[in-house]
Each structure stands twice: as C-alpha cells, then as structure tokens.
Amino acid sequence: MDDTTKKAVTQRLASAAGHLKGIERMVQENNYCIDVIQQIQAVQAALNKVSTLMLNSHLHTCVTTAIQGEDAGERERVLQEITNVFEVSSKL
C-alpha cells in the first residue's frame, strides 16, 4: 500500500472510530432512534470507502504482481481470495 492510500485509510478509520464513540454516547443519552441510525449509516459508508480504497490498492499491487508473475498457482490463489471476499460480504 502506498503512503497516500495508507494516510487516507488511517484518516477514515480514525473518523469512523470517532463516529462510533459518538453513537455510543447517543445511545447512552437515549437520542432519537432515527438520528442514531443515520450515524450508523454514516459509519457504514465510511467503512465501505475504506474497503474500496483497500481493494483498489490490493488490485494495483498484489493482484497485478500475481497476474504478471510466472506462478499460475499464485495467480489462482489471489483471484480466489478476491472471489471469497465478495462471497463472504454478500452473506452479511
């Protein structure tokens, strides 16, 4: 992962962590349910963006290296890894 991506991911994770603390506080304070749900959705969107950044980095580094390499087994392993990630996420 390059430094720019690492910085963006780190910042988004810190922001999501802060939002989670805010959501905990909202629940403790019995805030309006829809307000809490909207904050949860904001955290989910932030984490989805982190996932997209990570996937993009992975495709441009590890996957590209495996595809350009000579090891057919490694190519298949990396491609299967990506498929597995999407299979798992579709079951959530």
Write out pLDDT tens, residues 36-78.
999 999 999 999 999 999 999 999 999 999 999 999 999 999 9
By the 8 A CB rule, do 12 and 54 touch? no
Residue 79 tokens read as: 């491609």
In the block, residue with structure tokens 């996937």: 55
CATH superfamily of 3-91: Metal-sensitive repressor, helix protomer (1.20.58.1000)
**Is the pTM above the cut of 0.85?**
no
